[in-house]
Amino acid sequence: MNIVKIIFFILMLTATSFAEKIDVVKHTSPGGLVDRMNEVIAKSLGDNFGQFIQVKNCVQAVKVIEKHKGKVLTAWPTEREAKGNPCNLENKFLLSTFSNSPYHITYLESNSEASDIDFLTNGSEVIVGVWDSNFWAPPQTAFLQSINPNIKVVRYKGKPFRTALASGEIDYKVVSFPGQDPVIAIMDGKHLNTDHKFSNMGYSMMFVGNFDYDIARVYSIVEWQDRTDSTHQPWMPDLSKDEQINRVEDMLSAITEMDN
Amino acid sequence: MIELSLVFVFGILAGVFAGVLPGVGGVVIMTLAFPFLMQIDPASIIIFYVTMASVDQYFNGITAIVFGVPGASMNIPTQIEGHTLFRKGRGSEAIMNSAVGSFLASLFAVGIVLLLLPVMWTVYGIWTSVAQAALLGMACLVLVGLARNRVLVNALFFLFGGVLGQVGYSHERGNSFMTFDMDILYSGLPTMSVLVSLFVIPVLLNSYKKLPGSFDFPGVDFKGYKNTVLGIKRFWSTLFRSSVLGSFGGLMPGMSFGFSSILAYISEKAIRQKKKVYRQGDMHSLIACESANNAGVFTQLVPLLFLGIPITASEALIYTILESRGLPVDIEWFKSTFDQVLLFFVASSVIGLFLSARYVNFLQLFNGLAIQKIYLMIVVILFIALWQTGASQYAGFDHLVIALALVPLGLLVHKLDTTPLLFGFLLSEPLLDNLKRILVIYF
């Protein structure tokens, strides 16, 4: 009996040590939102996690995902699937939608004028800062100007964006994670100009890889529950993969058409 | 306390490592140290960073002065003035003055921070796109006017540098520029590759025929500090101006102390030229950029510590580590660590000052070597460093290939002053960015 137990134990050990590890591709700057999500994905793999494959940009990440001999997973900003983006992945690598956070319109606490929603919707000189992205800035601009044609939209790159509110040159800032700044409105399709096609818009990510992996495992771990980017929620988890991809394609087409 | 002391020692070693090896900057060290930082106390993470960054500045300066190799873009002015002084046989003076100036500027920065803390948000109120564009515009104009070539050549170099800075895929524009469908170019040209091939190599080629400086450094010792401190009063106005610029540069997102040290250098050089006393190898200009650097090292922590705003890549990494470990990143917590950070910053400045003097003595080993051999050795070390620093950013081979591809261009223009090209590469994008914002806001 003991021999059987020992053989069983050895077989178990062998099976564990030869189980194929799963790698996670890191393709964005360390410390950013996507990078943090990739950390969570790695945690969800437990003992099956192999290593992080770090690449310099998303073009190199595409090559890893398409050609890697082992199994790989990663979080993937949705706009990369837009037409013309050099980081497009074939649909077969899109495992599911991952997370989405509606854009929040924030202001500086000491700015009493901006704390009144009427100023945003009816003010004669309102300046709103958005992240300088060729993909997201145009629909954000279209939506903001639909609620108040007097709104001027200014694009900011990362570092100056952080103190733009404090400098006083903008009244509001559009961000997916508001941090400590007070929020005047959320672009979740329930508050401002609900008829507008971009009233429900947020920063989103897909879950991609070269094998099937259930995203629910990521949502179930404690690191996901404790994430600091709490406005980022599971994105369309109840839909089938085909439905998710169709919705994403519709969204990307609507934005791309507007850009053109 | 034992953990803090150990972290302090590691921070010093990391600073020495980063300063001695060109291209190994704060981000590289923080990335390499990531697994270690994930394990230690949150206050220790901040102390590791501030110690490493502070010590790094002293050693970076020496590498630029003695070997003519700027460790980062902010050390380009140190290379221009300091290495010339070294070749004129004034290496000791350059090292001591820049070290003591840096130390005094660090203390000045501590004072500025203590003074401004209660009104920090008001300070940010003046940091508008107009203020940023004005400073950047002034820097660019002065640069084009002051470099050694004819103004037209400087302007063309600046524009060409700007074009090189645009290479890559831009999320802002939504298109690729000059990537030729090569994935190594999608992230743009790495600063270090451009710096090595279009600045360091031309400078070394120009320098090797001239008399090399001596690798004896008389007066670089503990006693020498006393004499330097006594003699530095003739640089007070330079020190004050550059410490103010460096301190504000550290505080301001989008400016960074790298740019402010360049600005401090350009301002000082313009003043010296106006007085008709500037010659390359100018001690005032050297002190200006070195002291601005060190002042900014401390003040750059303020936005992170007190406002929760990381303004450099290294700080973003610290912020992430704290967040991902569920550690507090609120302003109250940061305030509670401030006294310790202050103490360790001053301690690391003192240690950096004295260690760098000891390091200089080791450089006597180079005495007697032919300058060609030394420069050849520097180029080989630079390319290895390029590979290694690139490797820590997961693109070692890419950095090397891009640097090698740019070498012919560096050889072609080696008789000219390529600083406008380099600054065009670094400054044109933030300048255009600010101008675009001004157009939208005010017109």
Name the band, by pLDDT with cuts 50, 70 and 90, for residue B437: very high
Residues with Cβ within 8 Å of B148's Cβ and at least 6 positions away in sequence, in order, are B280, B416, B417
| Tally of CB atoms within 10 A around B394 | 17
β pairing state of A71-77 and A22-26: parallel
- Residue to test with chain A: of B178, B314, B324, B429, most A Cβ within 10 A: B324
Name the band, by pLDDT with cuts 50, 70 and 90, for residue A54: confident
Task: At B5, list the tokens.
Answer: 């002391």
What digits encode the pLDDT tens for the residues B156-206? 999 999 999 999 988 888 888 998 888 788 888 988 788 888 988 887 777
Using CB atoms, which residue from B169, B313, B436 is nearest to A29? B313
Number of H helices, E strands in chain A: 10, 11
What domain range is B82 assigned to? 2-442
C-alpha A63/C-alpha B186 separation (Å) is 13
Contact in structure between B324 and A37 (CB atoms under 8 Å): no
Task: At B382, list the tokens.
Answer: 């630079």
Instruction: Determine the average pLDDT of the residues in B432-443.
Output: 91
Residue type, B426: L
Q: Report the run of H or E that residue A53 belongs to, with start and end.
A: strand A49-54
Task: At A57, list the tokens.
Answer: 């940009």
The pLDDT score that the predictor gives to residue A9 is 63
More confident residue, B64 or B304: B64
C-alpha B319/C-alpha A228 separation (Å) is 12
The pTM for the full model equals: 0.77
Closest Cα in chain A, distance from residue B394 (Å) = 6
Q: Closest-CA residue in chain A for B312?
A: A159
> Tokens 């190898």 sit at which residue?
B281
Determine whether the interchain pair A180/B308 forms a contact, defined as Cβ–Cβ distance below 8 Å.
yes
**Short-list A44, A31, A228, A232, CA closest to B326:** A228
Residues with Cβ within 8 Å of A112's Cβ and at least 6 positions away in sequence, in order, are none
C-alpha B258/C-alpha B205 separation (Å) is 26
Least confident segment among B43-52, B92-101, B317-326: B317-326
ipTM comes to 0.79
Q: Closest-CA residue in chain B for A229?
A: B323
The pLDDT score that the predictor gives to residue B358 is 83
Task: Supply the DSSP symbol for A181.
Answer: S
Closest Cα in chain B, distance from residue A89 (Å) = 15
- Domain total for chain B? 1
**Short-list B339, B335, B346, B354, CA closest to B107:** B346
Determine whether the interchain pair B186/A160 forms a contact, defined as Cβ–Cβ distance below 8 Å.
no
Determine whether the interchain pair B183/A133 forms a contact, defined as Cβ–Cβ distance below 8 Å.
no
Domains of chain A in start order, with CATH, are 2-101+203-259 (3.40.190.150), 104-186 (3.40.190.10)
Instruction: Determine the average pLDDT of the residues in B55-60.
Output: 88
What digits encode the pLDDT tens for the residues B84-98? 998 888 989 999 999
More confident residue, A143 or B2: A143
**Short-list B21, B61, B133, CA closest to B288:** B61
